[in-house]
A and B are shown apart, each in its own frame.
Chain A
Amino acid sequence: MKPWMDADACLALEDGRMFYGRSFGAKGACAGEVVFNTAMSGYQEIYSDPSYAGQIVCLTYPLIGNYGVTDADFESPRFHAEGVIVREHCEHPSSWRLEARLGDWLTERGIVAISEVDTRALTRHIRQAGELRGVLSTDDLDPGRLVERARASTGLMGADLASRVTCAAPYVFAPGERGRVVVYDFGVKRTILTEVARRGFAVEVVPAHTSAADVLARNPVGVVLSNGPGDPAAVQGAPEAVAALLGKVPVLAICLGHQIAGLALGATTSKLKFGHHGANHPVMDLTTRRVAVTSQNHGFVVDEKSLPAGCRVSHRSLNDGAVEGIAHDALALVSVQYHPESAPGPHDSTGLFDRFAELTSTRPVAAPASAPVPA
């Protein structure tokens, strides 16, 4: 720490690196995996995205809170990020939609937040070291103790966080004329639900551990596997349930849902050195050769080599070639790693929901070639 910084909060990383700044949210401490996101707007959507459960989010854009927070922009009823790191928090936001200041909101909801951090240095560090566990603290600033705590905390590998953020019981999100779509809630973002509902479907949301039989009993025209936090391999029972659904009903899978679909098909997943976290990631649709700028937030990917026959890579990241989507035509599966619902981010790929809507009027013609290995 530079001696002239008036620090009253800090971030300790498991590798011993410390970052200092000023607290602008709740007092206390939190632990989690430290990730960055390069989206320049949409902090509220990011913080309230259940996929960030278990993570401390560092936004690379330095000015955060400029337009405050507003009810309409929540992706779930609460903030999920464990803690928040920014370069500068805006004390005087301005927007016609403004309902509250970000800092006040965080304080009220008990989220630890730190500003004045050299977030670029932190981002570069994460880029080089890979995602790291960390502790954000406003009470204790002792490096030794905090680093210990960071090392002791549970990371994302093997963490079934979806079970923590999923809904307690099934519920109806929206009525609709076009048949019923059942959405597995692994930590679903509200915009996924609204995108499906907007296309005229009745949307029913079920908890992460709902069985295939339960889902089929609802007589769905399609199933959506939502996004969510953590390690896909750790979501108990989900791959099996999905395997049982595939071939019986068209499936749209997004992000964690995509990884679970991959597992259901018998593929494997692995963790990226540093994930894709931003709203500017180019993805090519290999069928149309068109590029969409997408919103992404994933640390795991489906391993291309492990894909079963009949399943092809449908989308690819132009940045690092990572698998960003797979498709299985016979099983009527559309599955993407990125977020077609955006929020935040470009609306370039909302067409994927249309593709899914079309699929719902077809029937899968085959069953999966191989069943998943039980976890």
Chain B
Amino acid sequence: MPLRSDLKKVLLIGSGPIVIGQACEFDYSGTQACRALKKQGLEVVLVNSNPATIMTDPGVADRTYVEPLTVEILERILEREKPDALLPTVGGQTGLNLAIEAAEKGVLARHGVELIGASLEAIRMAEDREQFKRAAARAGVETPRSGRVRSLDDARALAVTLGFPLVVRASFTLGGLGSGTVFDLAELEETVTIGIAASPMHEVLVEECLTGWSEFELEVMRDRNDNVVVVCSIENFDPMGVHTGDSITVAPAQTLSDKGYQLMRDAAQRIIREIKVEAGGSNVQFAVNPKDGRMVVIEMNPRVSRSSALASKATGFPIAKIAALLAVGYTLDEIPNDITKATPACFEPALDYCVVKIPRWAFEKFKDTDPVLGTRMKSVGEIMAIGRTFPEALMKGLRSLELDGIAMAAERGEGFGRPEDDPRTLREHLLRPHWQRLQQLFASLAVGETPEGLAEATGIDPWFLHQMKRITDTEAEWRELPSLAAITPQRLWRAKRLGISDARLGALVGATEADVRALRLGLGMRPTYKAVDTCAAEFEAQTPYFYSTYEEEDESRPGTAPRIVILGSGPNRIGQGIEFDYCCVQAAEALKEDGYEVILINSNPETVSTDYDTSTRLYFEPLTLEDVMNVIEVEQPVGVIVQLGGQTPLKLARGLHEAGVPLMGTQFDDIDRAENRRRFADLVEELGLLQPASATATSRDDAFVVAERLGYPVLVRPSYVLGGRGMRTVYDRDDLASVLDGGVALSADEPLLLDKFLEDAIEVDVDALGDGTDFVVAAVMEHIEEAGIHSGDSSCVIPPYALGDELVARIKEQTLALARALRVRGLLNVQFAVRGDRIYLIEANPRASRTVPFVAKAIDWPLARLAALVIGGKSLKDLGITTAPEPKLVSIKKPVLPFARFPGEDALLGPEMKSTGEVMGRDVDFGRAFAKAQLGSGEGLPSGGTAFISVKDDDKRAVIFMAKRLVDLGFKLIATRGTTRFFKLNGLECETVFKVHEGKPDIVDRIATGEVTLVINTPLGRVSQFDDRAIRAAALRHGVPTVTTIPGALAAVSGIEAMLKGPLGVRALQEDSCAPA
């Protein structure tokens, strides 16, 4: 059946901000879906609040709404656009849940919109854990023993029948939110309470605990003719009990015999048929008892997922694209396989390589939470690596993670297993799945533990552990070698075939990476490149998708046109995410159009950049000097772009430069002048600009002296730190003492950096573009939160809303002066702090910044594309650029924070970035734009109720005005004793509420009852820290909007005001665009 002729216009819902459990894989799937549908001649309408996505780029859909994902907003869009159908399955759990809500509230029926891809019944049956169990039973597939629980009484009763340990799982949630393994009644009650709150249905499933069983996933597709194919099987290295999103996973399944695999495939088919997923992809998860093969189904997601993105990258089969085509009428046999061109998409890819995915966590940023893995997903990103063997893929994967510091001492070169590794402590660690379990396993093997013993302790299949032992055995051999000279070509070949890097091999024999590389190249030992072709070479492939391996035959085929290599940004992490992928993708497209062949290197399977369609040729490789140089040798590009993928490629600039590789865009020396603190300070001085006073301390005593000299408060940063990690604001001597006691390394080699902290300063971000001669400022962004809160964690506004014109003009001038001095070719990001009329320079990044996609949307200017063209050789004059467009609307970018995932972590902002994603609110005025940003972030704003206010003394005066406005808007105020007295003195009605421990009900109880709708709480300092934390934790748990800064509170009040004025309108990006969409 071909394209349905009754469909003309289709609405897609994106997945909103990047959060843990839902990351840029949905940009990849949504972008694919948009493009596929548009190519079919359908008009595509898209709504997504996340400005950093490719899919929201104005050229991808026909009508793009960067608006909050709420039913009210969705209805407004439906009113305006009147689409025929809604495709709910490509926007993650968020898209699916919004579609369900709209269907259930009758909104879709009211506007005559049909759900395509999966029906409401199918979605419900798959997502409602209880209904799913029944469906599985009908399909003849076993599920764990369990029961539905809506109250604590239900839970207690069930615990008696099933016995501990138990697993609690919430319905309609993502990333295991609201779930957990519990060992006793108290834990059960706590987890059930949280789970019921997290589930939109207010129910959880309590079931038998299968921790230690093997976990598998199948990616299944079904069309309306009932054809079903299994695109990929995935085996989890970490057994059941660790969320698949937090597990190392391998494709295809390694330890299943064909008999076992086919049973699983049959079960998945029966389930997808029983659930009646009409046309699209689903992910089905299974657990298998490794002792007897008993198989149960764990869940099914009737939509594209993180795993389907991984499966697409692992196999070359574009699941989301095919799912979109199936939803609009096609059947699998009618869709061609892009890669072979000659065969249809109705088949099951055959792999002739092994794929490993490893998650990346951010526990170093969340020190108060237990870094243990469980059924709730906690990772913030992932990498994928491809090799011909498991060790090769695993080792490539490990180095793709770009872990620094202690986390990867081994990757730094020492090899696994250090003398201080005591097998007993290692063993203890292993019993709880820690985020560094992989490294711990390697270390244990290196000190003599057996694979069988470790398997027994961890439940990990011995197959994986034996494979790992091949690496530790090889390393042990190498460590015995007297020197580089003792390395035979045979030995080197074997080590390279296991995926071990030159750097690591060098360290094992006391040589450098360069030594090993020279030795290797001297022998002519180079990696070969093999294509990912979906068919294991059975057919000729057209794919431009390669990975490296040490084999005999090389399949790479560099083209003849001039080639440019773009280095991607590697795994998502806090501080470096989808924004950089956006820049790489935009650049790839622009440069392809400009006549170049674009070579992309990246290791992140969630991204659009690693779609084989994006570049001319994709190399799925780690972003290390070794791996990148290998590709460069094959491709012989005219240049390499290091400024678009964030800090990852920028860090390689030196190595590439020294190897004689031409960098395109800003040159290495200028990059270094911006990145190197000392050289940057000289530059700033030369230009006559201001920087906050700063100094370094090399000892503890020194630190106190320096801090006194600068004057408290000071900003402290350990020198090894990147991305604001470990940065702290220190208010006095005691505070500094506690930081120093907190295990900060401090020596002449690792000095502590101290900056004078600028209090109450307004932070400003600027993005600029230059061609080496001419420069323009793209936008000046004023932050809502004051300096001291990481630029990535504060909301920012275009155009500046409080800074005077004169200041903005000076900021622009200073930016241009810097750009000129750094001879910027491409992008430059500068951060300032403004205090009174003094402008301080905080840092300059000679690269694309996190804000580039936001700026592009706010001013309707394809900034990343323009930058790419300039880097490729065009001048601003060639492009006809003299200034950037003025924004027509107010745009606000608001960060989204992951605190709810990290119990025990204080929900407080500071100089260390903690947000995972962002949303954009755009409207005609500040209030409305802010209200939309707030709605988009999922926090929302109350339209009435009780506001609880608790602020530090310094903030009391500032809060009065705001409190008055809240009262005028109809809010009731409550506050603790001191603040109440202060309010009363100022003529405001206010009720006193007990602090924690003062009596019952205290403020935490009042938040728990749902009475409090807004919390304004600025940190009070150490004295009442406990109270503060408890309040913020309670607000977080109960989903009460909380503001922790005065400017933030002011913005919130403006937002509330705007919302009360009337319903928020919507606008498509294309409406404000001057360029044709």
Contact = CB atoms under 8 A, between A and B. Distances in A.
Interface in A270-306: 277-282, 284, 289-291, 293
Contact of A63 (B227, B390, B525): B390
A62 B255 contact: no
A73 interface: yes
Interface string A16-37: 0001000000000000000010
B348 A319 contact: no
B493 A94 contact: no
B427 to A, nearest CB: 21
Given A66-B463, A96-B293, A121-B553, A41 B258 contact: yes
Given A36-B537, A291-B332, A344-B258, 11 more contacts: A6-B490, A38-B350, A60-B538, A62-B388, A63-B389, A120-B537, A121-B551, A281-B347, A318-B347, A319-B539, A346-B230
Interface string A62-99: 11001100101100000000000001101111111100
A67 B257 contact: yes
Given A66-B255, A67-B257, A291 B352 contact: no
Contacts of A290: 225-227
A169 interface: no
B333 A291 contact: yes
Given A45-B258, A280-B349, A96 B266 contact: no
B466 interface: yes
Nearest to B462: A94
Contact of A93 (B293, B463, B552): B463
A226 interface: no
B352 A2 contact: no
Contacts of A355: none
Nearest to B523: A4
A319 B535 CA distance: 11
Interface of B: 225-227, 229-230, 252-262, 265-266, 290-293, 332-333, 342-344, 346-354, 388-390, 451, 461-463, 466-467, 488-490, 492-493, 523, 525, 530, 535-540, 551-553, 555
Contact of B552 (A72, A73, A118): A118
Given A120-B537, A293-B229, A94 B333 contact: no
B225 A289 contact: yes
A218 interface: no
Contact of B347 (A45, A63, A277, A319): A319
A63 B254 contact: yes
Given A67-B256, A319-B347, A96 B290 contact: yes
A36 B535 CA distance: 12
A115 to B, nearest CB: 11
A188 interface: no
A163 interface: no
Closest A-B pairs by Cβ, 4 of them: A42-B258, A121-B553, A4-B489, A92-B466
Interface of A: 2-6, 19, 36, 38-42, 44-45, 60-63, 66-67, 70, 72-73, 87-88, 90-97, 118-121, 123-124, 127, 277-282, 284, 289-291, 293, 318-320, 342-347
A61 B493 contact: no
A96 B258 CA distance: 13
A2 B489 CA distance: 10
A4 B252 contact: no
Given A92-B466, A127-B537, A73 B257 contact: yes
A4 to B, nearest CB: 4
Given A62-B353, A92-B462, A346-B262, A4 B537 contact: no
A127 B340 CA distance: 14
Given A123-B538, A127-B540, A61 B344 contact: no
A91 B473 CA distance: 14
A3 B266 CA distance: 47
B257 A61 contact: no
A342 B252 CA distance: 19
A62 B537 contact: no
Nearest to A116: B497
Given A124-B537, A293-B229, A319-B343, A73 B258 contact: yes
Instruction: Select the residue from A44, A282, A284 with max chain B CB neighbours within 10 A.
Output: A282
B258 A343 contact: yes
B489 A38 contact: no
Contacts of B537: 36, 60, 120, 123-124, 127
- State the majority secondary structure of interface residues on A: loop
Given A41-B256, A94-B255, A318-B347, A5 B493 contact: yes
A62 to B, nearest CB: 5
7 contacts: A66-B254, A90-B463, A94-B255, A97-B259, A120-B553, A127-B540, A291-B346
Contacts of A289: 225
Contacts of B540: 127
A95 B463 CA distance: 9
Contacts of B467: 92
B262 A73 contact: no
Contacts of B293: 96-97
Instruction: Select the residue from B254, B293, B552 with max chain A CB neighbours within 10 A.
Output: B552
Contacts of A92: 451, 462-463, 466-467
A4 B291 CA distance: 42
Nearest to A98: B257
A51 B355 CA distance: 31
Contacts of A38: 350, 352, 535-536, 538
A39 B258 contact: yes
Contact of A284 (B230, B333, B354, B525): B333
B352 A123 contact: yes
Contact of A282 (B262, B344, B352, B539): B344
A40 B350 contact: yes
Contact of A293 (B253, B292, B348): B348
Nearest to A293: B348
A294 to B, nearest CB: 10
B548 to A, nearest CB: 13
Contacts of B523: 4
Contact of B492 (A4, A318, A319): A4
B354 A63 contact: yes
A343 B346 CA distance: 21
A124 B614 CA distance: 26
A280 B489 CA distance: 39
Nearest to A97: B257
Nearest to A45: B258
A123 B537 CA distance: 6
A251 B660 CA distance: 71
Contacts of A36: 537-538
Nearest to A6: B490
Given A60-B352, A61-B352, A346-B262, A95 B489 contact: no
Nearest to A70: B257
Nearest to A343: B258
Contacts of A93: 463
A124 B537 CA distance: 6
Nearest to B262: A347
B315 to A, nearest CB: 11
A59 B351 CA distance: 11
B384 to A, nearest CB: 17
B348 A346 contact: yes
A213 B489 CA distance: 67
A366 B377 CA distance: 66
A284 B927 CA distance: 59
Contacts of B225: 289-291
Nearest to B233: A40
A119 to B, nearest CB: 7
A280 B348 contact: yes
Nearest to A60: B536
Given A119-B352, A280-B348, A293-B347, A67 B255 contact: yes
A318 B291 CA distance: 40
Nearest to B390: A63
A73 B262 CA distance: 13
B593 to A, nearest CB: 33
A342 B488 CA distance: 46
B552 A2 contact: yes
